[in-house]
Each structure stands twice: as C-alpha cells, then as structure tokens.
Amino acid sequence: MKFYTLFSILAVLGAIYYDNKSGVRLLNRPIFYLFWIIIVGFKYIINGMLTRYIVMYNPATFIGYRIGSIPIEDFLFGFSMVVVCLGRYCNRILRFEVASAKTIHEKMRNFEER
C-alpha cells in the first residue's frame, strides 16, 4: 500500500477512535457533518489551487484517485485533523464547564451555610 494512503487511513481510524474514547462523540452529531461540508467546500477551493499549480505529489506515495486535482488522501487526512482538533476543543470546553459548575456549586453551598 502507498505511504500517504496508509497514513491517511490510519489517521482517520485514529480520529474515530479518539472521538469515541474522548466521549465527545462529534461523529454522532448531525451539526458536525454540516460543519464538515462547509470545510470541504473551502478545502476544495484552496487545496485545489495548491494541488493544481504548486504542490506536486509523488505518484509512488498515493493511490492516484483524485477529486478534481485533490488526492482523496487529502480529504481523509483533513477529516481526521478536523475531528481531532474539534474533539480536543470540545473536550476542553466540557472539562472547563464541569470544573466551573463544581466551583460555582461549592461557592453557593458555602454561601448558604453562612
């Protein structure tokens, strides 16, 4: 198997594993797919210009399937980056909200005890 293809598939599998393990479960939310469609639209424009005029891929490293001028592996790798980055962000927000809620609850309890 080609290196970039293998790396992209492993990245997608790792992102799916991370999404399940972290508990955020972005892939179970319909809003994520709307967000993904918007990202893919911009990715197609920018990455399309890059892969048509600037970036040249070594044919020995990917399978050769393209959407426009963009290798399918770019979409796979981009998907995994979005899932992991959003998952980490959402995980951090959730942890902050839980910590804040505990702090607020403790402050309210201390206030009520006075």
Q: What's the whole-model pTM score?
A: 0.77
> Residue 99 falls within a domain, yes or no?
no
Residues 6 or more apart whose Cβ sits within 8 Å of residue 53: none
The answer to whether 60 touches 4, Cβ cutoff 8 Å, is no
> Residue 12 falls within a domain, yes or no?
yes
Counted domains in the chain: 1
Q: Whole domain around residue 18: which residue ranges?
A: 3-88
**pLDDT above 80 (res 106):** no
Mean per-residue pLDDT, 20-49: 90
pLDDT of residue 109: 64
pLDDT digits (tens, 9 = 90+) for 54-104: 888 888 888 989 888 889 999 999 999 999 999 998 888 777 666 665 665
**Which pair of structure tokens corresponds to residue 70?**
């963009």
Q: What length is written for the chain?
A: 114
Neighbours of 30 (CB within 10 A): 7
> Residue 111 falls within a domain, yes or no?
no
> Residue 102 falls within a domain, yes or no?
no
> Residue 56 falls within a domain, yes or no?
yes
> Residue 72 falls within a domain, yes or no?
yes
> Residue 46 falls within a domain, yes or no?
yes
> Residue 112 falls within a domain, yes or no?
no
What mean pLDDT, rounded, does the chain reach?
84
